[in-house]
Amino acid sequence: MRITSVFLLLLIFSLALPAMAIPNQETEAQREARMKWWTEARFGMFIHWGLYALPARHEWVKQYEAITEEDYQQYFDHFNPDLYNPKEWARLAKAAGMKYFVVTTKHHEGFCLWDSKYGDYKATKTPYGKDLIKPMVEAFRAEGLRVGFYHSLIDWHHPEYPVDKKHPMFNNLEFRKTAANRDVRKYAEYLHNQVRELLTEYGPIDCLFMDFSFPGENGKGRNDWQSEKLLKMIRELQPQIIVDDRLDLLDVPGGWDYRTPEQFMPQEWLKVDGKRVPWETCQTFSGSWGYHRDEATWKSVRQLVVMLVEVVSKGGNLLLNVGPTARGTFDERAKERLEGIGAWMEGHSRSIYGCTQAPDEFKTPQNCLLTYNPTAKRLYVHVLEWPMGALFLDGFAGHVAYAQLLNDASEVKFIDQSRAGEIGFFTEERKGEKGNAIILRLPVPPPAVTVPVVELFLK
Ligand code: GLC
């Protein structure tokens, strides 16, 4: 009898215990192994798609313009992306060199792109009438890309979502009175149910981008979302999944897998407590995530390629966003960028995939960015401004066995600094200097590619 009750107690205890914490028995090496495909991939596609594609003036339009639920309804009633062809999207992503994609299953507006059984504010109830997520997941998987879901913690549609400072109706006191009794626990239940649904009905999901927390006065954070419980469920349902850092669990062990600097370029590899951590920056082609017809600040192909290289040179990933139109297409500006990046990637992806920041002893040459493949033991010199005839590489002498242009595998001759004086590369003062640099002898015209790369085979 006693044994039975002890056993029962133990059983109850062991069932209750994990509910209190996120399982985090992973060692550093295990975490690295879990994230290996992701750190090697380096380049993914973000997709922001929802009702906001119709107003076509930013995915925050409902909040920016304080649009009421009634007025926003017209976008739901007219949602009909008749040209939607996810196979074409997947083809474009793959051709651009992207290895994974992350799609907004629900953005802040609350609209669900899949056929959720927990509500009616979803694609299947619009004139379009079909689940958008399933064919997308299938199409991208078929092209060999990994699958990621972005899911908004914030919800401007749900009737139990308490009005906070980011809510479209925050300044509408009348509305706030009517919403005074909203219960965030009921909303959290809806949130958890939907995340469970997404993580059980679409096969293996490789990454999850929960967005976002803003704790403090009139904000929301881990207690509102019940983040620890949510993350525990996520990790149980999909143990391999890679999760972002916006659940407000930065101080919780196992509470995030990577940092997410958004719309800016970090100065250096991101560190937490002095230690380099995995990171991914998400960036737009222009200023908006959702399709924006009139936005004009589009980045050029070259800017985007340089951005990708710079991210990898600092040990990070780039998640580059497309905001498809309400017809279900990528607009010409997006296609042109994707194709341009793809043309460069075709000849140069070796300097991106599996690459990371170069070891410290190799100083970044002037007007260049370095990436490094530790497995292949190759260094990649991305030459942003083509110099006249020669490129000086400080710290490289004795390390390089062979050098070539990456675009055509044509040999690049080099000399080391000890002999540099002979051919007049150095000023009189430095002539006899024994350093550890090498000098690459480059052709005068640069190769006709967006960013030329010299591939160095290390000894
Ligand atoms: C922000 C914005 C959002 C966008 C996201 C991408 O948090 O709220 O519109 O989806 O960043 O990272």
User: Residue 388: which CATH number?
Assistant: 2.60.40.1180
> How sure is the predictor about 323, in pLDDT bands with cuts at 50, 70 and 90?
very high
What pLDDT, on the 0 to 100 scale, is given for residue 373? 98
- Pocket test of ligand 1: the residue of 155, 211, 260, 291 to mutate, having most ligand atoms within 8 Å of its CB, is 211
| First CA to last CA distance, the chain | 71
- Domain of 100, CATH number, reads 3.20.20.80
Ligand 1 centroid distance, CA of 225 (Å): 17
Give mean pLDDT, residues 1-5. Answer: 48
Distance of alpha carbon 457 from alpha carbon 44, whole angstroms:
27
Residue 8 lies in a domain: no
pLDDT more than 70, % of the chain: 91
Ligand 1 centroid distance, CA of 391 (Å): 41
**Pick from 351, 378, 393: which residue ends a domain?**
351
What pLDDT, on the 0 to 100 scale, is given for residue 368? 98
**Contact status, residue 348 vs residue 302, Cβ threshold 8 Å:** no
Residue 358 lies in a domain: no
Cβ(209) – ligand 1 distance below 6 Å: no
The three-state secondary structure class of 183 is coil
pLDDT more than 90, % of the chain: 87
| 165 shares a domain with 46 | yes
Distance of alpha carbon 301 from alpha carbon 311, whole angstroms:
15
| 374 shares a domain with 343 | no
**Pick from 321, 351, 381: which residue ends a domain?**
351
| 339 shares a domain with 226 | yes
**Pick from 351, 384, 410: which residue ends a domain?**
351
What pLDDT, on the 0 to 100 scale, is given for residue 25? 77
Ligand 1 centroid distance, CA of 211 (Å): 7
Cβ(103) – ligand 1 distance below 6 Å: no
- Mind giving me the DSSP string for 194-255? HHHHHHHSSS---EEEEE--B-STT-B-HHHHTHHHHHHHHHHH-TT-EE-S-SS-TTSTTS
| 200 shares a domain with 150 | yes
pTM: 0.93
What pLDDT, on the 0 to 100 scale, is given for residue 194? 98
Residue 1 lies in a domain: no
Ligand 1 centroid distance, CA of 283 (Å): 10
Q: Which atom of ligand 1 is nearest to the CA of 211?
A: 7
Cβ(336) – ligand 1 distance below 6 Å: no
Does residue 10 carry a pLDDT above 60? no
Alpha-carbon torsion, ordered 331, 333, 338, 343, to 10 deg: 130
What pLDDT, on the 0 to 100 scale, is given for residue 394? 84
Distance of alpha carbon 402 from alpha carbon 442, whole angstroms:
14
**Contact status, residue 409 vs residue 436, Cβ threshold 8 Å:** no
Distance of alpha carbon 49 from alpha carbon 222, whole angstroms:
26
Distance of alpha carbon 150 from alpha carbon 48, whole angstroms:
9
> How sure is the predictor about 416, in pLDDT bands with cuts at 50, 70 and 90?
confident
Cβ(211) – ligand 1 distance below 6 Å: yes
> How sure is the predictor about 60, in pLDDT bands with cuts at 50, 70 and 90?
very high
Please give, one letter per residue, the 3-state secondary structure of 23-35: CCCCCHHHHHHHC
- Number of domains present in the structure of the chain: 2
Average pLDDT of every residue of the chain: 93
How many angstroms separate the Cα of 164 from the Cα of each of 178, 219, 224, 375? 14, 6, 11, 49
| 290 shares a domain with 253 | yes
Q: Whose CA is nearest to atom 5 of ligand 1?
A: 211
Q: Which two tokens stand for residue 132?
A: 């958008």
